Amino acid sequence: MRWTNIDKDGQPLWMPDIASLVADRLANPKKLMNDQHSAKGLGDSILRQLYEKRSSTGSLRLSQSGACIRQLAYQYHHTEEDGLGIDAASKLAFIVGDITEAILASALIEALEGTSIGAVHHALSDQEEVYMEVPIRPGHTAKIAGHPDGYMVIMSQDSDPINAVLEIKSMSEFGFGKFRKEGLGPNDSYYSQVQSYMHCKGAEWAYLIAYSKSAGAKDAEVYDDGSWLPVSPLHGQWIKYDPEHVQSIKDKFRRVIQSVEPEEIERPHGPNKKGILSFPCDYCRYYKRCFPFAEEHVQESRWLKKNQKIKVSVGEHND
Ligand code: SF4
């Protein structure tokens, strides 16, 4: 098993590399040992995508802890959506995401089964609902709900158990590459989401495991010395509880709830010098409300990316 070094109270502490455990279990199929698995539960979560309609119910969720504040205000005030909609392609992406996230949770449960490394709780169909309390004014506190993917008790190498929130995410090729290189920080929306969950659970740590939606069996990484390894489709990070960041999330939710209309909140994002919107605005469900003169057009993308692929060479002596 691989270990990863986290900083605990200024001291280095070695923790299991959960992503490599999951990758090993996926690569080595064997009899299922844990009885938490529910084929029906897995099927139900996928079928949900065929009947569940996402609408502007007005309720805020902890999964949106890192979302644009003005976008949250549009949703909170039941504004009719007018921006990027949900079509068949996005539904398929959600379905693939749901299936993969569920199978990764199952693989992790199996990987830990019968070991002294730790265990996963409240995952899959046993997910918990947690609440963040946000004081709005004297006598009025809002409760924002969320559903962490799970909760882990993991033994560190010095044998102290670590309580951690588990979060599983699918990422685009670009997002996954950035996550592997730089890790998550306060400007990443997933960072905010896990901070909210840690706050609700009183956990000091979270482990976020991500998989690349476009991982290829032939993808390789070449190091400075010329050596190479296949790129793992999974990568994870231990993330420490950050109370200041949680306070900023609470302030954001409070500001949204106290607003009278979305437009009183300034846009935190905007177009580039050429007037083009980029992420998160071009993926926003309200961009035509937020920028009433926004228009879609098609443009050739010149985003070419070099990549490293594993090739098989037979050499010259192939008789
Ligand atoms: S268009 Fe951009 S600034 Fe406006 S609500 Fe959406 S994400 Fe926020």
Q: Is 308 within the bounds of a domain?
A: no
- pLDDT band with cut points at 50, 70 and 90 for residue 244: very high
Q: Structurally, how many domains does the chain consist of? A: 1
CATH of the domain at 83: 3.90.320
Q: What is the pLDDT of residues 170-180, one digit of tens each?
A: 998 889 999 99
Banded pLDDT at 57 (limits 50, 70, 90): low
65-69, 108-112, 312-316: which range is least confident on average? 312-316
User: What is the reported pLDDT for 252?
Assistant: 98
Q: What residue numbers bound the domain in which 123 lies?
A: 3-270
pLDDT above 60 for 167: yes
Model confidence band, residue 218 (pLDDT cutoffs 50, 70, 90) = confident
Is 39 inside a domain boundary? yes
Q: How confident is the model at residue 71 (pLDDT cuts 50, 70, 90)?
A: very high
Pocket test for ligand 1, best of 56, 82, 269, 282 (most atoms within 8 A of CB): 269
Ligand 1 pocket mutation pick from 267, 276, 289, 291 by most atoms within 8 angstroms of CB: 267
Give the mean model confidence (pLDDT) for residues 108-137. Answer: 94
Residue 147 within a domain = yes
Distance (Å) from CA 148 to ligand 1 centroid = 26
Pocket of ligand 1 (CB under 6 A): 68, 70-71, 267-269, 280-281, 284, 286-287, 290
Q: Whose CA is nearest to atom 4 of ligand 1?
A: 290
At 179 the pLDDT is 96
What is the percentage of the chain residues whose pLDDT exceeds 70? 96
- What is the rounded average pLDDT of the residues 270-283? 94
In this prediction, residue 318 carries a pLDDT of 61
- Ligand 1, atom 7: closest residue by C-alpha: 281
Instruction: State mean pLDDT over 115-130.
Output: 92
- For residue 115, is it within any domain? yes
Predicted local confidence at residue 42, as pLDDT = 81
9-19 average pLDDT score: 86
Arithmetic mean of pLDDT, 229-247: 94
The ligand 1 atom nearest the CA atom of 70: 5
Residue 314 — very low, low, confident or very high, per pLDDT cuts 50/70/90?
Answer: confident
The answer to whether residue 319 scores a pLDDT higher than 80 is no
Assess whether pLDDT exceeds 60 at residue 28.
yes
* Res. 305: pLDDT tops 80: no
Task: Name the pLDDT band for 56 (thresholds 50, 70, 90).
Answer: low
Q: Is 288 part of any domain?
A: no
Is 305 contained in some domain?
Answer: no
User: pTM higher than 0.85, yes or no?
Assistant: yes
Is 70 a member of any domain?
Answer: yes
Choosing from 284, 285, 291, 293 the residue with most ligand 1 atoms within 8 A of its CB, the one to mutate for a pocket test is 284
Cα 232 to averaged position of ligand 1 atoms, centre (Å): 34
294 in a structural domain: no
pLDDT of res. 14: 85
Query: What is the 3-state secondary structure of the chain?
Result: CCEEEEEECCEEEEEECHHHHHHHHHHCCCCCCCCCCCHHHHHHHHHHHHHCCCCCCCCCEHHHCCCCHHHHHHHHCCCCCCCCCCCHHHHHHHHHHHHHHHHHHHHHHHHHCCCCCEEEECCHHHCCCEEEEEEEECCEEEEEEECCCEEEEEECCCCCEEEEEEEEEEECHHHHHHHHHHCCCCCCHHHHHHHHHHHHHCCCEEEEEEEECCCCCCEEEECCCCCEEECCCEEEEEEECCHHHHHHHHHHHHHHHHCCCHHHCCCCCCCCCCCCCCCCHHHCCCHHHHCCCCCCCCCCCCCCCCCCECCCCCCCCCC
